[in-house]
Structure 1
Amino acid sequence: MPRSLAESAVAAWNREEPGGIGEESREEYELRDDAAELALIGLAIGERGMRDGEDVVVDLDVVQVATALRAAR
């Protein structure tokens, strides 16, 4: 994946969110769910990602690959 997307994923993993989750719309729920998936990809990158030129290579399961593709759009 592009290094910029990998860096965003790692930043999502490292982000702290104080407070709880209040009432949210369906769109907000879906956005939060996508952010959580992106953060899990960030964890995988931090643990086993390798740079390859301007890209980062990491083994992901099929669900994480789909999430990465959505995040790249």
Structure 2
Amino acid sequence: MSEPGEYDRYRQDVEVLAEIGAVLALAVPTVRVTIPRHLASAAAAAWDRDEEGPAGAETCEQARSRRQAGDLALLGLAISKGSQLVGEGVVVELPAAQFAAAVTAWVESQ
């Protein structure tokens, strides 16, 4: 099954986007945020969870869900490694990529 020619252009666009991301990540390496405590706990629990076996054949939706679950786990790692309880929130310095992953997940859910 051949794919339409525009997918080559899309892959090139992704490369350009990744290069822009590299520049932005250097400009804003971390973002200090406050996350509600219950959400921070859920993220930390995602990091502590063990998944069994490799992923099998997936639909696009399943692959995106697995990727975003991995993003949540990495956010949980950042919380586990260094965060501070402040009132009802957890203050943490997130790498810009994890901040962006969380915002992207929210945008895609709208």
Instruction: Specify if TM > 0.5.
Output: yes
Q: Which has the higher contact order (CA 8 A, sep 6+)?
A: 1
Aligned-partner SS, 1:17: coil
> What are the within-5 Å matches in structure 2 for residues 31-46 of structure 1?
31-46=65-80
CA RMSD of superposed structures (Å): 1.5
**TM-score, with length taken from structure 1:** 0.88
TM (norm. structure 2) is 0.60
Partner of 2:62: 28
Gapped runs of 5+ residues in structure 1? none
Q: List runs of 5+ in structure 2 lacking aligned partners.
A: 1-34
Aligned with 1:58: secondary structure? Answer: strand
SS of 2:93 mapped into structure 1: coil
Equivalent positions of 1:1-73 (< 5 A) are 1-69=35-103, 70=105
More strand by share: 2
Question: Would you identify which runs of 4 or more consecutive aligned residues in structure 1 move more than 6 Å?
Answer: none
The aligned length equals: 72
Bigger Rg, structure 1 or 2:
2
